[in-house]
Amino acid sequence: MLLKYNRCRKVIVESREVLLKRQVDFMGQDFPRMIDKAHKPTEDEMANFIGEPAKGVWVEIRRFIEEHYDIIPETVFGGAKYGWEVRYRKSGKTLCSLTPEKGGVMVLIVLGKKESEKALSMRNELSPKMFKLIENTKQLHDGRWLWIRLLTANDANDVKKLLPIKRKPKKT
């Protein structure tokens, strides 16, 4: 009986390793993050940590949010795995979180069920890569967690199209 349990457990562990390997392969290379909890980084330190050319996407996406949303960013520590991030949150609802990485920026947008449906209806407006990410991300009880890695300023276009689904921009 114990032997069968171990075999089953081994199969589950192997399956989990395959899943993790797929995630790493899908996301590409590993991107180091700012994980020193004792030191809260400044805006300049985060931008310099990212480096060129991804620094441009960091500046662009932050500028877009500042211009279109009345939300004050907060720098928070997301834990040893995620490190420092800039979170845009208002009235208890998070618009998105931006995590600086060496050579890139990771954006987290969580879409609820109705927001996911709207995003999936934007097939012609989003890049094929972004649409595939949305389509392949499982809808959980608390939303569809989109982890979007941005490497250049051009990568920000899809994020700019998704943010208005989460919250209407302020009127200019």
Question: Using one digit for the tens of pLDDT, what is the confidence trace for 16-50?
Answer: 333 333 333 334 457 899 999 999 999 999 999 99
Tell me the pLDDT band of 3, cut-offs 50, 70 and 90.
very low
Span 77-135, pLDDT tens digits: 999 888 999 999 999 999 999 999 999 999 999 999 999 999 999 999 999 999 999 99
Confidence (pLDDT) at 155: 85
Domain positions in the chain are 1-30, 31-166
- pLDDT of residue 6 exceeding 90: no
Beta carbons of 148 and 134 less than 8 angstroms apart: no
Confidence (pLDDT) at 92: 92
Closest listed residue to residue 58, CA positions, set 48, 72, 68: 48
The span from the CA of 31 to the CA of 33, in Å, is: 6
- 3-class secondary-structure state, position 1: coil
> How long is the chain?
172
Specify the CATH number for 31-166; select among 3.30.2010, 2.40.400, 3.90.1150, 3.30.450: 3.90.1150
Regarding predicted confidence, which is higher, 68 or 152? 68
Around Cβ 25, how many Cβ atoms within 10 Å? 8
The span from the CA of 165 to the CA of 121, in Å, is: 11
Closest listed residue to residue 81, CA positions, set 115, 33, 153, 149: 33
Confidence (pLDDT) at 8: 38
Confidence (pLDDT) at 7: 42
Instruction: Please name the amino acid found at residue 76.
Output: V
